[in-house]
Amino acid sequence: KNKRMGFFGSMFGNHSSAVVKEMIDKGAVIIDVRTPAEFQGGHVAGSKNIPLQNIQSKVSEIKKMNKPVVLCCASGARSGQATGFLKQQGIQCENGGGWMQVNNLVR
């Protein structure tokens, strides 16, 4: 679909871990865009599971949270796609990359 999405995915969120950590410290919502099965296998404590294919239908729900959002997945590719989409919807968000990477910032 969108060429820019692939570009976000290739960044893996590494460059912005300081920004992501600051957002988490200030109470950002962590949204994991992996499948429910992947999420069950391990996730960041307190994170919400909204699979990538459901993100579009959950925009109003995410806006109602009224908090910045950190997205994560397995590697940062799917969360990169979700981040690009949510930014277009006017939601303040960053791609945290892989969930284990984000988990390290939470502790």
Active-site amino acid positions: 73
Q: Which two tokens stand for residue 101?
A: 């990477």
- Contact predicate 73/10, CB 8 Å: no
Residues in the chain: 107
Query: In sequence order, what are the beta bridge partners of 30?
Result: 70
